[in-house]
């Protein structure tokens, strides 16, 4: 049976790892604590402000450093907008890519990528912020709101045929207060491709909650596993006891 995935999400700015809170930086961590043996996947995101060559090179070096000793899939993203960049990422050790703003900005490029590499190669991440009665969609690292409601945007994304969707709650980012269960349930109802949750993972129970209350396929954390190398192992043990199907 396909297991539920625990995914480590790492954000890099100019080659330096840092965590975020409501998408604002919080520099204090390095990637040396990450034990990737029990992670099911690692997502590496470039969130540098600059788009220059030097910053891009630092990011490529980072992917290579991680990938040399990492034998779980590495998904790479942040600012992807052309095919050459994808080739460079693959040459540094990327196994898959994740697209945030590109589906909105340039859907024909997304079509090109998917026809070349296949649907399974592409995850689309959707950044969502809760309003009073609905959700808004943001691009450009949470900076710009776009004129789509959540349902419209999910349909728009699904028309592009990606392999999976990562749904990221900006409100819960770095809050450690648990995933937005209603949001996840809502998105999963709209599609049958895998959906991953991000934003809010703060304790082991949050993982049990999301897998028991929703049909999501995986959840991401960018915070709690920075603290100790044994964290992921303990989490997996905990989830197995709770009868969640994990590796």
We find the least distance from the C-beta atom of residue 80 to other proteins, in angstroms, to be 16
We find the least distance from the C-beta atom of residue 3 to other proteins, in angstroms, to be 5
CB 142 within 8 A of CB 115: no
Q: Which is nearer to other proteins, 90 or 203 (CB)?
A: 90
Q: Which is nearer to other proteins, 127 or 164 (CB)?
A: 164
We find the least distance from the C-beta atom of residue 85 to other proteins, in angstroms, to be 14
> In the complex, which residues of this chain contact other proteins (CB under 8 A)?
1-3, 5, 37, 40, 64, 67-74, 87, 90-96, 115-121, 158, 161-164, 190-194, 217-218, 247
CA angle 136–144–126, rounded 5-degree value: 50
What tokens does 134 get? 């609905």
Distance CA(163)–CA(192), nearest Å, equals 10
Distance CA(135)–CA(34), nearest Å, equals 33
Residue among 62, 56, 57 nearest 74 (CA): 62
Q: Which is nearer to other proteins, 84 or 133 (CB)?
A: 84
Q: Which is nearer to other proteins, 21 or 112 (CB)?
A: 112
Q: Which is nearer to other proteins, 5 or 13 (CB)?
A: 5
Q: Which is nearer to other proteins, 143 or 189 (CB)?
A: 189
We find the least distance from the C-beta atom of residue 81 to other proteins, in angstroms, to be 19
We find the least distance from the C-beta atom of residue 72 to other proteins, in angstroms, to be 6
Q: Which is nearer to other proteins, 56 or 171 (CB)?
A: 56
Distance CA(224)–CA(19), nearest Å, equals 10
How many Cβ atoms from other residues are within 10 Å of residue 140's Cβ?
Answer: 14
We find the least distance from the C-beta atom of residue 54 to other proteins, in angstroms, to be 22
We find the least distance from the C-beta atom of residue 217 to other proteins, in angstroms, to be 6
């Amino acid at each position: 049976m396909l297991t539920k995935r625990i995914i480590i999400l790492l954000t890099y700015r100019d080659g330096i790892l840092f965590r975020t809170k409501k998408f604002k930086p919080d520099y204090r961590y390095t990637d040396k604590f990450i034990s990737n043996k029990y992670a099911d996947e690692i997502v590496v995101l470039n969130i540098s402000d600059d788009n220059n060559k030097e910053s891009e090179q630092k990011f490529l070096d980072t992917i290579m450093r991680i990938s040399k000793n990492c034998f779980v899939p590495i998904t790479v993203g942040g600012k992807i907008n052309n095919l050459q960049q994808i080739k460079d990422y693959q040459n540094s050790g990327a196994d898959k890519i994740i697209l945030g703003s590109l589906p909105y900005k340039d859907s024909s490029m997304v079509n090109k990528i998917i026809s070349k590499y296949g649907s399974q190669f592409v995850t689309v991440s959707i950044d969502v912020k809760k309003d009073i009665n609905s959700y808004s969609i943001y691009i450009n690292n949470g900076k710009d709101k776009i004129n789509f409601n959540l349902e419209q945007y999910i349909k728009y994304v699904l028309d592009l045929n990606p392999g999976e969707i990562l749904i990221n709650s900006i409100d819960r980012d770095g809050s450690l207060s648990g995933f937005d269960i209603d949001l996840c349930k809502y998105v999963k109802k709209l599609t049958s491709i895998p959906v991953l949750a991000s934003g809010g993972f703060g304790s082991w129970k949050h993982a049990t909650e999301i897998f028991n209350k929703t049909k999501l396929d995986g959840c991401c954390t960018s915070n709690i596993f920075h603290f100790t190398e044994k964290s992921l192992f303990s989490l997996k043990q905990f989830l197995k006891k709770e009868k969640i199907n994990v590796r």
